[in-house]
């Protein structure tokens, strides 16, 4: 049965800790991970949680404890993963457009590395030759993902080494005696269509013949989770079947078995997270009834940045009559969370819960308008634990040097 925190549980947590706050549900994270391992059973698959979605150290430790590996997009994420106790062979580093010294930093940690530019590949080869096998991130020229901002594999995208540059990759490999162990793609976020992954597999299998040291095909992340009621996510069962078929075929064709890796972020943590806010002000303006909450784009930017939909529920009044509200934040920008949304009748002081807020929520939060970030709570074994405390004014001044 799917794990969800009830409105009553969320209200209790909000009463106890105060709002705004993010609440994460550990067992839901585990449920999502187990869905993946079940769907890809027999595929020789490994999963690396894309921790850019949510890096609270407790989440990293929990993800480790359930057996999942971790994918990092920066050296700092690698260092956080190390701090959380991940062994180096459970850490993957897939960055883009970074300075070579960052890649060297990751190498010092002994983690798996995917390189996404010819220049860094060349530098790596010249310095380390065949002593440290790496992966290359290929831009497969596939359009995919929920919206253009989160599409990364198309022919105008900044990510990865363009497929048409494979000859240059091979030249570098030849000149420097580099070993390419992994071929990687990540075509976007919120990819519903299994066929997109199939296309990616086709592209990588097609160039696999050039890489005799190949051991891993890394298909990145991007599994879609349902954000709206009734919406469907990626059919991971169907994808598991497809991957099994394709990789068996690969084995027959090339006479060797390769592992398949995935880097899911949203799939692991999105549905495990809730943002709980409180209504400061109700404001009638012509036809529009605004519910102004004690949060904004400084806490959850996805609706404003990507036009993303997050379900919102008045958890203080779970059964009252419904009315239409435009839910907005308190930031000096037009930070509209949702327009004309039906909610159970709202009073000032009510708690509004935003669902599917675990991924890219707090992680993309800021101190804009000199407002504090939300606290974070982890519910584990039925217990709510504070995992990020309230900011104080000093946090806003942190690292500033007062010279005047």
Supply 155's token pair. 């022919």
List interacting residues with ligand LLP (CB under 6 A). 50, 53, 71, 94, 150, 186, 189, 220-223, 263-267, 302, 306, 359-360
Supply 296's token pair. 């904004």
- Integer Cα distance of 243 and 195 in angstroms: 11
Supply 387's token pair. 């995992």
Cα distance between the two ends of the chain:
59
- Integer Cα distance of 379 and 394 in angstroms: 28
Which pairs from 151-156 meet CB under 8 Å and 24+ separation?
A: 151/187, 151/188, 152/186, 152/187, 152/188, 152/189, 153/185, 153/186, 153/187, 153/188, 153/200, 154/187
Q: Where are the beta strands (DSSP E) in 151-263?
A: 161-162, 180-184, 216-218, 259-262
Exposure string over 29-57, b if 16+ CB within 10 A, otherwise e: bbbbbebbbebbeebbbbbbbbbbbbbbe
Within 10 A of 348 (CB to CB), how many other CB atoms are there?
11
Q: Are 145 and 151 in contact (CB under 8 A)?
A: yes
Taking alpha carbons only, the member of 346, 181, 347, 359 closest to residue 261 is 181
Supply 174's token pair. 């030849």
SS3 content of the chain, % helix, strand, coil (to 5): 35, 25, 40
Rg (CA), the chain: 23
Supply 183's token pair. 């071929």
User: Among this protein's residues, is 332 annotated catalytic?
Assistant: yes
- Integer Cα distance of 169 and 116 in angstroms: 11
How many residues are given for the chain? 404
Q: Are 177 and 129 in contact (CB under 8 A)?
A: yes
C-alpha dihedral over 209, 107, 45, 77, to 10 degrees?
-130
Q: Are 368 and 331 in contact (CB under 8 A)?
A: yes
Q: Give the residue closest to ligand LLP by C-beta.
A: 265
Backbone angles phi, psi at 337, to 5 degrees: -80, -40
Give the annotated binding-site residues for pyridoxal 5'-phosphate.
222, 360
């Amino acid at each position: 049965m799917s794990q969800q925190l009830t409105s009553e549980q969320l209200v209790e947590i909000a009463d106890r800790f105060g709002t705004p706050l993010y609440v994460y549900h550990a067992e839901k994270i585990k449920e999502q991970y187990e869905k993946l391992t079940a769907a890809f059973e027999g595929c020789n698959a490994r999963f690396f949680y894309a921790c850019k979605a949510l890096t609270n150290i407790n989440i990293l430790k929990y993800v480790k404890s359930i057996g999942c590996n971790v994918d990092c997009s920066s050296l700092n994420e690698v260092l956080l993963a190390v701090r959380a106790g991940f062994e180096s062979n459970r850490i993957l580093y897939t960055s883009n457009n970074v300075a070579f010294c960052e890649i060297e930093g990751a190498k010092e940690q002994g983690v798996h590395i995917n390189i996404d530019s010819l220049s860094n590949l060349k530098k790596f080869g010249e310095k380390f030759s065949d002593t440290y096998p790496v992966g290359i991130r290929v831009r497969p020229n596939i359009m995919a993902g929920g919206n253009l901002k989160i599409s990364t594999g198309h022919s105008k995208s900044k990510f990865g080494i363009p497929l048409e540059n494979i000859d240059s990759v091979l030249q570098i490999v030849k000149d420097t005696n580099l070993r390419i162990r992994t071929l990687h793609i990540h075509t976007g976020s919120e990819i519903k269509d299994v066929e997109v992954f199939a296309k990616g597999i086709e592209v990588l299998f097609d160039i696999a013949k050039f890489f005799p040291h190949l051991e891993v095909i890394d298909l990145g992340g991007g599994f879609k989770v349902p954000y709206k009621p009734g919406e469907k996510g990626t059919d991971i069962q169907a994808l598991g079947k497809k991957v099994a078929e394709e990789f068996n075929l690969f084995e027959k064709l090339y006479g060797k078995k390769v592992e398949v890796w995935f880097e899911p972020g949203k799939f692991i943590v999105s549905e495990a997270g809730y943002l709980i806010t409180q209504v400061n002000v109700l404001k009638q303006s012509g036809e529009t009834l605004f519910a102004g909450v004690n949060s904004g784009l400084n806490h959850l930017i996805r609706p404003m940045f990507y036009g993303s939909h997050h379900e919102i529920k008045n958890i203080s009044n779970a059964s009252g009559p419904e009315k239409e509200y435009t839910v907005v934040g308190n930031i000096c920008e037009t930070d509209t969370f949702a327009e004309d949304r039906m909610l159970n009748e709202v009073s000032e002081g009510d708690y509004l819960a935003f669902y599917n807020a675990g991924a890219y929520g707090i992680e993309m939060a800021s101190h804009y308008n000199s407002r504090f970030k939300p606290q974070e709570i982890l519910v584990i074994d039925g217990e709510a634990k504070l995992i990020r405390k309230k900011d104080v004014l000093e946090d806003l001044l942190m690292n500033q040097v007062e010279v005047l």
